[in-house]
Amino acid sequence: MNQKQNIKVPLLDIPLSYEAVLADVEKNINEVIRSGYFILGPVVEELERQIAAYCGAKYAVGVSSGTDALLISLMAAGIGEGDEVITTPFTFFATAGSISRLGAKPVFVDIEPSTFNINPKHIEKNITNKTRAIIPVHLYGQCADMDPILDLAKKNNLAIIEDAAQAIGSKYKGGRAGSLGDYGCFSFFPTKNLGGFGDGGMVTMASEELYEQVKTLRVHGSNNKYYHKVIGGNFRLDAIQAAVVLAKLKFLDQCTKKRRSNAQTYDRLFKEKGATDSLILPQEIIPHHVYNQYIVRVKEKRDELRSFLGGKNIATEIYYPLPLHLQDCFASLGYKKGDFPESEKAADEIIALPIFPELTTDQLEYVAASISQFLKN
């Protein structure tokens, strides 16, 4: 350990992540440049085919971001003014923000503390005659418990829109994220397990009718140029982003395997060092977790631990420090502190540790040893 004080551990090393795939990325980008198809086109269509096959969905539509994947799915589901959509308050803003942008109301349901995902047991009592959809979020790379959610949706004729932005490749009882509901929404933001050179996203679905609706909405509601059936938006995926993601897709399973291995190493090291008296480690309740984030709960002095690790050149993050029901922009919904205690407790306790595939054994050991050192003081 005498040399490890010089180790730096970033939360993510994007340049390093491209070393193995850079030749394929550059080749694909050069082909796009030569083709002249910069928006949609054959490279986007090929990525759509491959993502659909990877996720076990029949169709996929490339869009401009993960946020727009949610928005366009809500639009295709007919969500609008006065409707209600049930989701979790413990997620990235876009989940609920997309609902509000259409004039609908996000109705929040608390999370299961072991997975940080929406608790199906609390959904039914929040269904009203205005409820039109449920958005389960597969947070951090682990699928929500989908069977009871799907049962409720069928019983009440509700659309299911999976927010799988952090969960490409994750599984639920043999099916992959994006193939479980009516729509699967993915993000290709650079920090995601399958990230591009900027914004990008994808919507997956099994229904040909929904596929055609989403494709139409993607280009301002038009199937034939300058003739518009409905009001859509500019939700198109750029070909260069598709080219980057297409090059990286062939390495996704390999990278996921390394993320899972890193998570197992952390688990072992924390247990060996006796840190689990003060830390709650991630629980893989729904196999197969893809660890977009490795999240631990810190029972006491979470913020002090973050500062201590920062002083040792170990980057961490809090996803997310304030649940959505307490955000200023959602004050009109009428929620207050204490309404969703599990989400609030998670926001106070969780910390994300570096988990990216390129982490070395020395870096993993340094992180675990540093946390153990703090906890013993």
Instruction: Mention every residue, 6+ apart, whose C-beta is less than 8 A from residue 20.
Output: 251
pTM of the complete model beyond 0.85? yes
What is residue 309's predicted lDDT score, i.e. its pLDDT? 98
Q: For domain 252-376, give the fold.
A: Aspartate Aminotransferase, domain 1 (3.90.1150)
39: nearest Cα among 239, 242, 245, 243? 239
140: nearest Cα among 327, 318, 277? 318
The whole-number average pLDDT for the span 158-175 is 97
286: nearest Cα among 375, 174, 199? 174
Could you give the count of Cα atoms lying within 13 Å of 202 in the half-sphere of its Cβ? Answer: 35
Q: How far is CA 357 from CA 166, 288, 292, 375, in A?
A: 15, 17, 10, 26
pLDDT at 2 over 50: no
pLDDT at 1 over 50: no
What is the distance in angstroms between the CA of the first residue and the CA of the last residue of the chain?
18
The whole-number average pLDDT for the span 361-371 is 97
Q: What is the mean pLDDT of the chain?
A: 96
CB atoms within 10 A of CB 334: 8
Give dist(CA 130, CA 156) in Å, integer: 11
Interval 308-345: pLDDT, tens? 999 999 999 999 999 999 999 999 999 999 999 999 99
Strands 59-63 and 201-205: antiparallel
The whole-number average pLDDT for the span 276-290 is 94
pLDDT band at 20 (very low <50, low <70, confident <90, very high): confident
Interval 229-275: pLDDT, tens? 999 999 999 999 999 999 999 999 999 999 999 999 999 999 999 99
For the chain, the domains span 17-249, 252-376
**CATH classification (class only), 17-249:** alpha beta
Interval 204-219: pLDDT, tens? 999 999 999 999 999 9
